[in-house]
Chain A
């Protein structure tokens, strides 16, 4: 009764999130006194077996099939379902990324089994016993609320919340075994057909500095001073949903539950009230500076630093001060 980890990769390139799922699986396996195995889909992923062994995989099951040469939610979900029927694991764990949740939901639908996504803690009582109780804490509302739930199912299908379990090494035996699957040709209907690669560069999710603007910016043109500040600091501009809803900026700039999660060294939140759905997208920032006319705004009371005042005066003053000091240096 192994704990099986579904390995996420893109044409052979391992998603680091998988190693978080490995760490979670090792904990559950320890509670149940069992081992950890990993499942890789597609020949391109064969090469990651050694990394999986370093992170605790005692067995790596490798599935080879033409339909798995690239990602496809239905083909991947069907392959996972067949692997579950063949290997009868106690639990199957993936990381709760877009693909992780999607593949596990496809597999769960095929197995007619429950799936609990975005788990933060997994407790198993009466270990090793068929009557073991599985009690889980999971993320709701994009992480701003938690749910405790029970999971009753012959095989426990789980994904773990991204960035909750820390990846760590712990050598496993890493024996490699081929696992045959039968995939029908029509599953090709949801395999990636084309892709457009993005030019490399700083993005909202990776930028070291984000200058965010909210309803307080007042208009699309009002963002010019935020652009300028971000420009002199090599950062990028983000925004709240009030801004995208008003059509002032593109949704790709939106920070929050239904936008992008940011984690810069500094987030400068200008004219943003700090609604919980915005906050969950910004809270991984190392430092937060709020610029707001309202000293009681949630963004201000939760921030590390604040300037109380009109952003239209404060933001250009900061840019000027930076230019002044640089000119002196």
Chain B
């Protein structure tokens, strides 16, 4: 079978997210980058599906040229092929594309790959990107390809020409049974992603990178600026140091009515 997994490169901020002076981007001067967590699990899932059922997996990203790092990560844990849609090759900043433009470009790129190499049986996305969180690119791509799509998936089983996909709801678990080819949006927790081995990391350097110039029609949502959230001023009451603080903690529990 053929599985495609679409990932996004995002910064990994610590205690606070700082923004650049012009308000157009997260200040990444001192930050590392990572694969958006839901997609990290989607990559792991793609590799497991190919390990179990045979075939070939491909990772695709639309982003700055540096997003090659995230494709190499995918390759280091076992993805076979990498496709990069660089959005900064025209000298632009590589800032986010709006969700309509992004899905348009990804849909077109997938159609091109499928025309050359054959259709993907399953395309995986993350439930939403960690940074912009627009919750729609995977759904728009699925619609562009006329394929069934369910988001929020925490369990995937293949069989009988289709895929059983589980997702959590407030009251329990919902099961969807989709015919293939299909598209699924995956949530963190579907699996525990492996760490790349040294051998995997070395091998990933040799995986060919297929570069496709992205083109998508600009959509109706346009960012003006990023804005910091208001931080609630807090003063921390230190109840004590070490185990000697236990009585003060239990006094607090009593005060809060939690010591029934």
A interface residues (Cβ-Cβ under 8 A, vs B)? 10, 71, 73-74, 96, 98, 101-102, 105-106, 108-110, 113-118, 135, 137, 139-153, 189-198, 208-209, 233-234, 241, 244-245, 247, 250-252, 254, 257-259, 265-266, 273-277, 287, 289-290, 295, 298, 300-310, 313-314, 316-318, 320-322, 325
Q: How far is the CA of A139 from the CA of B187 in the complex (A)?
A: 19
Decide if B149 touches A196 in the complex (CB within 8 Å): no
B63 within 8 A of A: no
Decide if A325 touches B250 in the complex (CB within 8 Å): yes
Q: Can you pick out 14 interface pairs between chain A and chain B where the beta carbons lie within 8 Å of each other?
A: A105-B139, A106-B149, A109-B142, A115-B221, A145-B19, A147-B225, A149-B221, A152-B222, A276-B14, A298-B15, A305-B252, A307-B245, A307-B249, A309-B242
B161 within 8 A of A: no
B217-260 residues at the A interface, CB under 8 angstroms: 219-229, 234, 236-250, 252-253, 256-260
Decide if A274 touches B15 in the complex (CB within 8 Å): yes
Instruction: Return chain A residues, CB-CB under 8 Å to B55.
Output: none
Decide if A190 touches B140 in the complex (CB within 8 Å): no
Q: How far is the CA of A98 from the CA of B128 in the complex (A)?
A: 10
Q: Please give the distance in Å from A71's CB to the nearest CB on chain B.
A: 7
Closest 6 CB pairs of A and B: A114-B220, A251-B189, A317-B243, A109-B143, A105-B136, A309-B242
Instruction: Give the residue among B100, B150, B239, B258 with the most A Cβ atoms within 10 A.
Output: B258
Decide if A147 touches B172 in the complex (CB within 8 Å): no
Closest A residue to B99 by CB, please name it.
A115
Contact bitstring B18-40, A, C-beta under 8 A = 1, else 0: 01000000100000000001100
Name A192's contact: one of B135, B174, B247 (CB within 8 Å): B174
Instruction: Return chain A residues, CB-CB under 8 Å to B227.
Output: 137, 145-148
Decide if B236 touches A73 in the complex (CB within 8 Å): no
Name A233's contact: one of B171, B234, B259 (CB within 8 Å): B259
Decide if B250 touches A110 in the complex (CB within 8 Å): no
Contact bitstring B78-108, A, C-beta under 8 A = 1, else 0: 0000000000000000000011100100000
Q: Quick check: which of B65-73, B175-183, B197-205 contacts chain A, the rest being far away?
A: B175-183
Instruction: Give the residue among A96, A147, A151 with the most B Cβ atoms within 10 A.
Output: A147
Instruction: Return chain A residues, CB-CB under 8 Å to B245.
Output: 307, 309, 314, 317
Decide if B236 touches A301 in the complex (CB within 8 Å): yes
**Chain B: how many interface residues by the 8 Å CB criterion?**
81
Name B239's contact: one of A71, A306, A320 (CB within 8 Å): A306
Given the interface pairs A74-B148, A106-B139, A153-B220, the reply to whether A192 lies near B176 with Cβ below 8 Å is yes
Instruction: Return chain A residues, CB-CB under 8 Å to B131.
Output: 140-141
Decide if A306 touches B237 in the complex (CB within 8 Å): yes
Decide if A139 touches B220 in the complex (CB within 8 Å): no
Decide if A321 touches B246 in the complex (CB within 8 Å): yes
Q: How far is the CA of A146 from the CA of B227 in the complex (A)?
A: 5
Instruction: Return chain B residues, CB-CB under 8 Å to A144.
Output: 17, 229
Q: How far is the CA of A116 from the CA of B136 in the complex (A)?
A: 9
Known: A146-B227, A275-B14, A318-B246. 8 other contacts (CB 8 A): A10-B169, A98-B169, A106-B143, A195-B171, A247-B192, A265-B258, A290-B236, A307-B238
Instruction: Return chain B residues, CB-CB under 8 Å to A258.
Output: 37-38, 130, 187-188
Decide if A314 touches B188 in the complex (CB within 8 Å): no
Q: Please give the distance in Å from A159's CB to the nearest CB on chain B.
A: 8
Instruction: Return chain B residues, CB-CB under 8 Å to A198.
Output: 171-173
Name B189's contact: one of A189, A191, A252, A266 (CB within 8 Å): A252
Instruction: Return chain A residues, CB-CB under 8 Å to B236.
Output: 290, 300-306
Decide if B239 touches A141 in the complex (CB within 8 Å): no
Q: How far is the CA of A15 from the CA of B135 in the complex (A)?
A: 20
Instruction: Return chain B residues, CB-CB under 8 Å to A306.
Output: 236-239
Decide if A195 touches B220 in the complex (CB within 8 Å): no
Closest A residue to B252 by CB, please name it.
A305
Q: How far is the CA of A194 from the CA of B169 in the complex (A)?
A: 12
Decide if A108 touches B221 in the complex (CB within 8 Å): no
Decide if A102 touches B188 in the complex (CB within 8 Å): no
Decide if B151 touches A98 in the complex (CB within 8 Å): yes
Closest A residue to B10 by CB, please name it.
A141
Name B243's contact: one of A194, A314, A325 (CB within 8 Å): A314
Q: Please give the distance in Å from B157's CB to the nearest CB on chain A.
A: 12
Closest B residue to A112 by CB, please name it.
B100
Q: How far is the CA of A295 from the CA of B140 in the complex (A)?
A: 47
Instruction: Return chain A residues, CB-CB under 8 Å to B247.
Output: 321
Instruction: Return chain A residues, CB-CB under 8 Å to B118.
Output: none
B214 within 8 A of A: no
Given the interface pairs A148-B224, A192-B175, the reply to whether A251 lies near B143 with Cβ below 8 Å is no
Closest A residue to B250 by CB, please name it.
A321
Instruction: Return chain A residues, CB-CB under 8 Å to B112.
Output: none
Instruction: Return chain A residues, CB-CB under 8 Å to B98.
Output: 114
Q: How far is the CA of A191 from the CA of B177 in the complex (A)?
A: 8
Given the interface pairs A73-B150, A137-B227, A313-B243, the reply to whether A151 lies near B26 with Cβ below 8 Å is no
Instruction: Give the residue among B133, B240, B247 with the most A Cβ atoms within 10 A.
Output: B133
Closest A residue to B177 by CB, please name it.
A193
Closest B residue to A101 by CB, please name it.
B135
Name A266's contact: one of B26, B135, B256 (CB within 8 Å): B256
Name A308's contact: one of B172, B177, B241, B252 (CB within 8 Å): B241
Instruction: Return chain A residues, CB-CB under 8 Å to B99.
Output: 114-115
